[in-house]
Structure 1
Amino acid sequence: MAGFDLLSDQGLRLDGRRSNELRKIQCKLGVFSQPDGSSYLEQGNTKVLAAVYGPHEIRGSRAKRLLDQVLVNCQYSMATFSTGERKRRPRGDRKSQEMSSHLRQTFEAAIKTELYPRSQIDIFVEVLQADGGNYSACVNAATLALVDAGIPLHEYVTSCTTVLAPPPATSWDDEKLEEGEIALVDASHREETSGSPTLTVAALADSGRLVLCQVGQRLHLDRMNRALERALQGCKDVRDVLDEAVRDHLANCGISEAASS
């Protein structure tokens, strides 16, 4: 592997994964007793805590009150020690506000908001360690926290970040070489910052309905479709991992799957 190549001659990434493999995901529900729901998730070396409060009465200005659905409030923050460089403002900066807005958009589409009119649900996520796919890891952790809080969802909402990487000089697969760029699922920080195009997707995994799609660079439609297809498959793979974690949590709590459904 030479220079900044993201793939070796054998088709392996920098961390030994194949192009379509997720990073190792470890997660746990109910890590705090104070919130109505909480979770901890590790996706590779990216580590996230999520907490959910509500539904409760809307606080603050009455102008925010929604008569026919719940108000979803999201707050994204990063610990000052989450990256190699100490972060001066863990929350409230432009990047955090943008991420909070994306999270709100995502969960407004996933939560059955019509069940809680004139109410508010607060979702707090904090990145403890950042190593790529921060938004995706936050979505996945928040989904588990919502399930732990008993908030009805249309489906599991999951997220995945894909990077379009050039093939190695000597391809392990002539067909892949002819296709050009290769979509790398669940990108790490090194892959995200390599200069290759990135695509971050959040979707209702069972139906494949997109709720958020963010492109890091301009992409031709043909390149976009290749990355999107791989990202949606990544969302479905993450969904299977989260579903297994939820079932294990219910079993540990002594709740049968029939009762939970």
Structure 2
Amino acid sequence: MEFVSPEGLRIDGRRPQELRALQCKFGVLSCCDGSALFQAGNTKVFAAVYGPRVADIRGQALHDRALIKCEYAHAAFSTGAARRRRGRSRKSTELAALVRGALEQTILVELLPRAQVEVCIQVLFADGGVTAACINAAMLAVADAGIPVRDMVAACGAGHLEAMPLLDLNHTEAATGGLEVCVALHPALDRVVLLQADAKASVDTLEAVTTLALQGCKAAAGAMREALLQHVRSLAARRGAI
């Protein structure tokens, strides 16, 4: 299969360094403290945040910072194929740990001693870039809950196909088994909080793909920030603040 045409277009019509269309929605669930829906192309992820609140299990509470919990699941129809196994897979556990790690570096946990913040993530449809979408959805839900953070965290992936780096791989592109990198960034602080690569590659190739993923993080952060500002303006208008 040809992933990039002679005209420089990918199979979904994008350029090699082009993100999929991004959509952000806030407050999609009323029974939690914050919620958001993040969509990149066909990949759609929902996140809900409960807290900060007193830890469910007193013995787990941390005296000097908040405890971050993360639960991950995906709908049975999310990949377009029937699921045969039930229960929590190793991949689900690893993805939840990645999201939790990014949030622990983002939320000002030291301001919330003995508190608990629980993040629940549901993948509604998976078409590549799921890890990045989960991190972004979680960040938006945390912002919707009004939880203090050091900086916004934005994530994006990139890969290497047909001897060139491609930004934000979809499922078909990622299924080739080539190098794929996921990066999460604090854009204002210019600080990388996550760098995950799932295949071996030369130093030059890894550097090129990582650099492209960082550019994607900054673009995603801009879209997320703009959506958040619009959400805040909408809330302020409804409450008569502006």
With normalisation by structure 2, the TM-score equals 0.94
2:222 corresponds to 1:251: no
Counterparts of 2:47 and 2:71, CA distance in 1 = 10
Corresponding residue of 2:139 = 143
Corresponding residue of 1:43 = 40
Match of 1:96 among 71, 92, 97: 92
What SS class does the counterpart of residue 231 from structure 1 fall into?
helix
Match of 1:53 among 43, 50, 57: 50
2:66 corresponds to 1:70: yes
Counterparts of 1:91 and 1:230, CA distance in 2 = 35
**Equivalent residue runs for 1:1-261 within 5 Å:** 4-60=1-57, 62=59, 64-89=60-85, 92-166=88-162, 181-254=163-236
Are 1:76 and 1:91, in contact at CA under 8 Å, matched by a contact in 2?
A: no
Question: Cα distance, 1:5 vs. partner?
Answer: 2.0
**Identical pairs, percent:** 41
RMSD: 1.5
String of CA shifts for 1:115-169, please: whole Å, max 9, x gaps: 1011110011100011001111111111110100001111110111101112xxx
String of CA shifts for 1:163-222, please: whole Å, max 9, x gaps: 1112xxxxxxxxxxxxxx321111101111112211111111222211111111012211
Counterparts of 2:185 and 2:38, CA distance in 1 = 18
Counterparts of 1:191 and 1:61, CA distance in 2 = 46
Question: Cα distance, 1:61 vs. partner?
Answer: 5.6
Question: Cα distance, 1:88 vs. partner?
Answer: 3.9
| Paired amino acid for 2:3 | L
Counterparts of 2:87 and 2:127, CA distance in 1 = 18
Cα distance change, pair 204–255 in 1 and its aligned pair in 2 (3 A):
farther
What SS class does the counterpart of residue 113 from structure 2 fall into?
coil
Counterparts of 1:93 and 1:255, CA distance in 2 = 44
Are 1:206 and 1:236, in contact at CA under 8 Å, matched by a contact in 2?
A: no
Counterparts of 1:100 and 1:38, CA distance in 2 = 17
| Paired amino acid for 1:235 | C
| Paired amino acid for 2:73 | S
Question: Cα distance, 1:233 vs. partner?
Answer: 0.6
Question: Cα distance, 1:66 vs. partner?
Answer: 1.1
| Paired amino acid for 2:15 | R
Counterparts of 2:135 and 2:202, CA distance in 1 = 27
What SS class does the counterpart of residue 144 from structure 1 fall into?
helix
| Paired amino acid for 2:108 | K
Are 1:77 and 1:91, in contact at CA under 8 Å, matched by a contact in 2?
A: no
| Paired amino acid for 1:116 | L
Counterparts of 2:86 and 2:39, CA distance in 1 = 19
Cα distance change, pair 237–50 in 1 and its aligned pair in 2 (3 A):
same
Counterparts of 1:98 and 1:215, CA distance in 2 = 14
Moved over 3 A (4+): 88-91
Counterparts of 2:24 and 2:57, CA distance in 1 = 34
The higher radius of gyration belongs to: 1
With normalisation by structure 1, the TM-score equals 0.88
